[in-house]
Amino acid sequence: MPRTLTPRPACRLHPPAVICPLGDDAATIVDRLFGGQRRLAISDAFTPGRPLPLGRVTTPLPDDGAWPVAHRSRNNRLLAAALTRLAPTLADFRARHPEARIGVILGTSTSGIGETEAALAERRRLGDWPADFHYQRHEIGSPSAFVAEHLGLTGPAYTLSTACSSSAKALASGRRLLAAGACDAVITGGADSLCGLTVNGFSALEAVSEAPCLPFSANRDGINLGEAAALFLMTPDEGGIQLAGYGETSDAHHISAPRPDGAGARAAMQTALEMAGLTPGDVDYLNLHGTATTQNDLMEAKAVSALFDTPPPCSSTKSLTGHTLGACGALEAAFCWLALDAGRLPPAVNDGEPDPALPPLPLSAGGHAALRYALSNAFAFGGNNIALLLEKTP
């Protein structure tokens, strides 16, 4: 049974607004998520002559032609598409709380770098910057500044960039703002768009697979990259689905490789559980970071095995969407939200070949299940680890 040691502040996550390779409306995303549908397309758009599976968003995005030049980027267009989905929830909240102080806390690792890449190419070709070039598009703070200005919000607005843990850390930061009474609500989550810098950067690390990725398989050989935006309205209300806990650690083992024994990852999960007053046995589903690289999956399997006497059903949804980098923490928290809401398990999708070098994990076969607690992991360069604990309240 849950063991709540002290009352914890309420932190309700309202229905997520998501645009990702699985789609941009909840019904489609639910069908593809729980149906285990890979949505990766083969493309050499960023690696000419080397086709790679990429998780690209194919649904139409808002036109940014009338926006201030500093806000025109694919990253912000992804956010604008997600904001369209969030609009009814936000409008209802603002109608009930017209004087609410609303913050914007987002995570990203690319911001508008793709547009700067195109501008640099034109400068090399023509000798000058494009007329509409503005350096603020690729500033890390651009996403939160855009959302706050787009919505006319004047509360705290800042962006976190800690590589692949960025948007998960944004959710934790939003919860802290609510607990401190600094905001009455927070728009939180993150976005990352595909660009040459990240695709070629991960390729240079020899971390990219030329085939659809295989998390926790004996045949895994690297990640597929993707793009997404995922947003939540977070409020200090009881009920619904709560962000019940989080755990953040930094083991600083290596600039890019994870600590082999998974100690930092284990501590992050343990801290999230302790914040929620839970034990490992209370967790009903675990969304693994599961990049399908040799070292990450080994480290994470060790961390899970060390923490759980009997691990819960688990899966990595990156086999469906690709690794969406700074957006993955919020995106996979959204998948956990959908799992809790629907009472369904996202299936683990790989080639069915277990790796005998890994501690065994009960990879999910999908299907319906009684779910109350879901734990979601996000790990990043520099040993930056975070785990989020979501609860479906009775």
Catalytic residue flag (residue 289) = yes
Neighbours of 5 (CB within 10 A): 9
CA distance 340 to 343: 5
Catalytic residue among 14, 71, 134, 289: 289
Give burial (CB, 10 Å; 0-12/13-18/19+) of 133: middle
Q: Which listed residue (138, 323, 328, 336) is catalytic?
A: 323
Active site residue 164: yes
Task: Choose, from 20, 164, 183, 213, the residue flagged as catalytic.
Answer: 164
Task: Give the phi and the psi of residue 135 in degrees, each rounded to 5.
Answer: -65, -25
Taking CA atoms, 128 is separated from 70, 134, 351, in Å, by 18, 13, 49
Answer yes or no: 14 catalytic: no
Nearest to 119 by CA among 111, 127, 109: 127
Beta strands in 279-335 (DSSP E): 285-287, 314-315
Q: Provide the CA 146 distance to its chain's centre, in angstroms.
A: 19
The answer for residues whose C-beta is within 8 angstroms of residue 267's C-beta and 6 or more apart is: 247, 249, 385
Strand 185-192 and strand 102-107: the pairing is: parallel
Catalytic residues: 164, 289, 323
